[in-house]
Amino acid sequence: MKLSTLLTSAALALGVAGGAYADAHEKTKVGFVFVGPVGDGGWTYEHNQGRLAVEKEFGDAVETVFVESVAEGPDSERVMTQMALDGADLIFTTSFGYMDPTINIAAKFPDVKFEHATGYKRADNVSTYSARFYEGRAIQGHIAGKMTKSNIIGYIGSFPIPEVIRGINSAYIHAKKVNPDVEFKIVWAYTWFDPAKEADAAKVLIEQGADVILQHTDSTAPQAAAQEAGNVITFGQASDMAQYAPSPRVSSIIDNWAPYYIARTKAVMDGTWESKDTWDGIGAGMVSIGEISDAVPADVKEEALALKASIADGSYHPFTGPLKKQDGSDFLAEGETADDGTLAGMNFYVEGIKGDIPK
């Protein structure tokens, strides 16, 4: 009791001191919590590019801080608390596993604005944002289905969360559409960033006959493993990974966070920030498709670009019926498209994918 009182008053004193400090300086302080190192060449790299864009846009008016390689779960609460105590006005937490910690810490610091990437829990001072990566997955699936010769496509998943499952479904639907014989082999790595393990997963899939590797983990290791094996194609994940072009990397999904980060920082500066959910895709520019390399036949490239254009202008939705779930029950009727709520909580495979989703 005594100790906790002491700690609380110490925290309060710090908070007051921090608050006073925040008043005294005019800079807006923006914090970023990263799940991997900024040099991962993938997911965290792109978030850091967004951070640098904020610095460039506002110059001396902002100060940004970041902590990299923060474990998902309780440890991230410590990092967020420290940032808030240090006077951050806005904190971006950039991985799914920070969802509950973000909500917890946001409740303790009502004056600090939080932005959580890829989650679905919001509060008065917590917004969520994500990108419609599954739109890019549709294009990958199309190219993969067209280009595979063994008809086996390997997929390295990170964690069985809706975002990853959505990507698998979207890729599978579009691969199956152009190649009815296609089969997906899915391996869960249970990590976002572990190059050695990601490379091992890629090697195992290649040994089992896959000649296309799709990854939903953050490092470029699967690209290196594919290059080593030869005759395997891959796609850049989260970042362009152009250093592996033109082959094995034949295209990529690039996350472009900069416009969003700049807009939200601006909103905090202007005092117009409010809690909301943002989910943008190719059309709004939050997802871009990296250059499709010459390793892809010209006609496939053309189809892929047409698919991209139709998704961008909204005339085509990657989840358009008729579609069934894996268990054979109806998912979408002819012409029906999936609503955002269904997509956000997606926890089932579509018909044709083998294996179970880990619970």
Partner 1 sequence: MDLSVINPVLFVAGFLVAATPLIFAALGELVVERSGVLNLGVEGMMIIGAICGFATAVETGSPILGFFAAAVGGAVLSLLFAFLTQITLANQVASGLALTLFGLGFSALLGQRYVGVKPPRLAEVNFGPLHDIPVLGPVLFSHDIILYLGLVLVAAVWAGLKFTRAGLVLRAVGENHDAAHALGYKVVRIRTLAIMFGGACAGLGGAYISLIRVPQWTEGMTAGVGWIALALVVFASWKPWRLLLGAYLFGGITQLQLNLQGAGVAIPVEYLAMSPYVITILVLVVLSADKNAAPASLGRTFHASS
Least separation in angstroms between CB 191 and partner 1: 7
| 123 within 8 A of 111, measured Cβ to Cβ | no
Minimum distance of partner 1 from residue 204's CB (angstroms): 4
Structure tokens at 270: 């202007």
User: Within 13 Å, how many C-alpha atoms sit on residue 306's CB side?
Assistant: 7
Taking the least distance from each CB to partner 1, the nearer of 205 and 214 is 205
Of 109 and 349, which has the nearer Cβ to partner 1? 349
Amino acid letter at 270? D
The minimum distance between CB 228 and partner 1, in angstroms, equals 7
C-beta contacts of 292-299 below 8 A and 24+ residues apart: 292/143, 292/250, 292/251, 293/245, 293/246, 293/247, 293/249, 293/250, 293/251, 294/246, 295/233, 295/246, 295/247, 295/250, 296/143, 296/147, 296/250, 296/251, 297/146, 297/147
Quick one: which H or E segment has residue 40? none
Q: Is 152 helix (H, G, I), strand (E, B) or coil?
A: strand
C-alpha dihedral (345, 237, 352, 328), degrees to nearest 10: 10
Q: How far is the CB of 297 from partner 1 (least distance, A)?
A: 25
Measured from the CB atom, the residue of 143 and 245 that comes closer to partner 1 is: 245
Residues that bind partner 1 (CB under 8 A): 36-41, 69, 154, 160, 185-188, 190-191, 193-197, 199-201, 203-205, 207-209, 219-221, 223-225, 227-228, 241, 243-244, 354-356, 358-359
Backbone angles phi, psi at 127, to 5 degrees: -100, 160
The Cα–Cα gap between 17 and 14 comes to: 5
Least spacing, CB of residue 144 vs partner 1, in Å: 17
CA 73, chain centre distance (Å):
18
| Shorter beta-carbon distance to partner 1: residue 213 or 307 | 213
Beta strands in the chain (DSSP E): 28-33, 62-67, 90-93, 113-117, 126-131, 152-157, 183-188, 212-215, 233-236, 249-255, 277-280, 287-290, 323-324, 330-332
Q: In this complex, which beta carbon is closest to partner 1, that of residue 41 or of residue 141? A: 41
Q: How far is CA 226 from CA 7, 55, 134, 250, in A?
A: 52, 36, 23, 12
Pick between residue 12 and residue 71 the one whose CB is nearest to partner 1.
Answer: 71
Min CB(155)–partner 1 separation in Å: 10
- Name the strand (E) or helix (H) holding 357: none
- Determine the longest span between alpha carbons in the chain, in angstroms: 73
Q: Which is nearer to partner 1, 115 or 194 (CB)?
A: 194
Minimum distance, C-beta of residue 120 to partner 1, in the bound complex (Å)? 22
Find the shortest distance in angstroms from Cβ 248 to partner 1.
Answer: 12
| Shortest distance in whole angstroms from residue 49 CB to partner 1 | 14
d(CA 290, CA 351) in angstroms, rounded, equals: 29
Between 197 and 324, CB nearer to partner 1: 197
Whichever of 245 and 286 has its CB closer to partner 1, that residue is 245
- In terms of CB distance, is 38 or 138 closer to partner 1? 38
Q: Closest distance between partner 1 and the C-beta of residue 164, in Å?
A: 13
Strands 28-33 and 90-93: parallel
Residues paired with 332 in a beta bridge = 323
